[in-house]
Amino acid sequence: MNRRTFLSALSGGLLAATLAAEAQQPGKTHRIGYLAVRSASDSLPFREALRQGLSELGWVEGQNIVIEYRFAEGKYEQMPNLAAELVRLKLDVMVAEGTAAAVAAKNATRAIPVVATSVSDPVGIGLIASLARPSGKVTGLSYSVGNETVVKSLELLTETVPRIRSVAILSNPAHPTQPGTIRNLNVTARSLGVQLQHLEARGPNDFDGAFAAMGKERAETLLVVADAMFGFHRTRLADLAARSGLPAAYGVRERLDAGGLLFYGPSITDLFRRAATYVDKILKGAKPADLPVEQPTKFELVINLKTAKALGLTIPPSLLQRADQVIE
């Protein structure tokens, strides 16, 4: 090793050590931003999982970190302003809950690292360059690489209710992944031999019209594409589905507690617990571009037997055996 190479390596090592030391120096408080489309109450399990993960790594809210929260209450149009508010607080890192929050965070800053968590199709929507090399300031954990979870939900729905011919798809056109989701669902529907009825809702005022259209077209089942706005109004959606006699699959596990029939996907709380490791590394000096985006490794199938009985459905035993959880 020549003198120039040695000095370069030495200075690089000293810089890394200095950054790590500054991150952990006594008395230093780091500021973390948290941006969500959901309401504060809907977001609580995910925030608690993040805080737990941070605590296990030595980062305790009120001691060496401060977390600034912003919630859009299911209103996508508020996201840019909320993201801008957080940027003005001179954060060390921002955690974005879900796809829309991640897009808003990326658009709001080129300087603050963003840990995008539970994001659908991050490469497809242009959030990152690739899973292995995100580039830029955004990294984190994906909910799905493409749209495989919602496609699998459609397949499971047709298995849960045999011989169905018509499936209503309810989606929010404001969601960044909606176009790709619809394309993939159409391809899957053709292979399954079922007809899809696409319905859109930007807000709760669109729900009654959507369900009236389902009744008119005689939809036999319903697939609600994962969306924070739908989660905010999950009880009303579940009531409308029950009144319409429609077995419904949801894109988020928590929706089943409101009366949904089926869920397939990763555990979002687990993703947020894992997100703490990204925050930890960034606060210690790591660059987001050097941190590969993590993919979920475990997927859950949850079936609500209580809802099935209320709808007069008999769930195939083979499907019950594959379920990770059965709600009775």
Q: Is the pTM of this model over 0.75?
A: yes
Query: Does residue 35 lie in a domain region?
Result: yes
Is the domain of 184 the same as that of 153?
yes
Q: How far apart are CA 175 and CA 57, in angstroms?
A: 33
Distance CA 105, CA 151 (A): 27
- pLDDT tens, position by position, 54-88: 999 999 999 999 999 999 998 999 999 999 999 99
Cα distance between the two ends of the chain: 68
Which region among 9-13, 92-96, 109-113, 130-134 has the lowest average model confidence (pLDDT)?
9-13
Mean pLDDT of the chain: 89
**Beta-bridge partners for 265:** 300
Q: Are residues 201 and 260 in the same domain?
A: yes
Secondary structure of 173-201 in the HEC alphabet?
CCCCCHHHHHHHHHHHHHHHCCEEEEEEC
CB 288 within 8 A of CB 271: no
- Is there a single domain that holds both residue 141 and residue 193? no
Q: Are 83 and 172 members of one domain?
A: no
Q: Which of 34-38, 90-94, 193-197, 310-314 shows the lowest mean pLDDT across its residues? A: 310-314
In a domain, residue 127? The reply is yes
Enter the tokens of residue 99.
């796809």
Residue 108's pLDDT is what?
98
Q: Is 31 helix (H, G, I), strand (E, B) or coil?
A: strand
Q: Is the pLDDT of residue 10 over 80?
A: no
**pLDDT digits 0-9 by tens, 29-60:** 999 999 999 999 999 999 999 999 999 999 99
What is the band of 17 on the pLDDT scale with cuts at 50, 70, 90? very low
User: Are 130 and 236 found together in one domain?
Assistant: no
How far apart CA 264 and CA 8 sit, in angstroms, is 51
154 in a domain, yes or no?
yes
DSSP at 61? B
Q: In this structure, what are the phi and psi dihedrals at residue 28, rounded to the nearest 5 degrees? A: -80, 130
- Cα–Cα distances (Å) from 325 to 125, 212, 290, 293, 328, in that order, read 32, 32, 37, 28, 10
Nearest in space to 208 (alpha carbons), one of 235, 237, 229: 237
Asked if 220 and 312 sit in the same domain, the reply is yes
Residue 139 lies in a domain: yes
Residue 59 lies inside a defined structural domain of this protein: yes
* Distance from C-alpha of 104 to C-alpha of 33, rounded to nearest angstrom: 13
Q: Is residue 3 part of a domain?
A: no
Phi, psi of 200 (to 5 degrees): -120, 145
Q: Where in the sequence is the domain holding 87, given as residue range(s)?
A: 27-145+267-290
d(CA 73, CA 302): 26
What is the Rg, in whole angstroms, of the alpha carbon atoms belonging to the chain?
22
Whether 161 is in a domain gets the answer yes
User: Do 202 and 310 reside in the same domain of the chain?
Assistant: yes
Give me the pLDDT at residue 146, please.
Answer: 66
Q: Are residues 244 and 275 in the same domain?
A: no
Fill in the DSSP letter of residue 291. Answer: S
Residue type (1 letter), 23: A
pLDDT, tens only, 133-189: 999 999 999 988 667 889 999 999 999 888 899 999 999 999 888 898 999 999 999
The band of 9, judged by pLDDT with boundaries at 50, 70 and 90, is very low
Residues 318 and 171 in one domain: yes
Domain count, the chain: 2
Please answer whether residues 72 and 103 qualify as being in contact, where contact means their C-beta atoms are separated by less than 8 angstroms. no
Q: What is the DSSP letter of 162?
A: T
Whether residue 88 is found in the same domain as residue 217: no
> Do 78 and 152 reside in the same domain of the chain?
no
CATH number of the domain where residue 201 is located: 3.40.50.2300
Encoded tokens for 248: 């419904």
Mean pLDDT, range 302-323, rounded to an integer: 93
pLDDT for residue 20 is more than 70: no
Is pLDDT above 80 for 124?
yes
Indicate if the alpha-carbon torsion angle 90, 93, 172, 122 is positive or negative.
positive
**pLDDT of 24 above 80:** no
Q: 116: part of which helix (H) or strand (E)? A: strand 114-120
Is 285 domain-assigned?
Answer: yes
Q: What are the pLDDT digits (tens) for 275-297?
A: 999 999 999 999 999 999 999 88
* Mean pLDDT, residues 222-244: 89
Same domain, 138 and 226: no
Alpha-helical regions (H) of the chain: 3-24, 40-56, 79-87, 99-108, 148-160, 178-192, 207-216, 228-232, 234-243, 268-283, 305-310, 317-322
Confidence of residue 253 (pLDDT cuts 50, 70, 90): confident
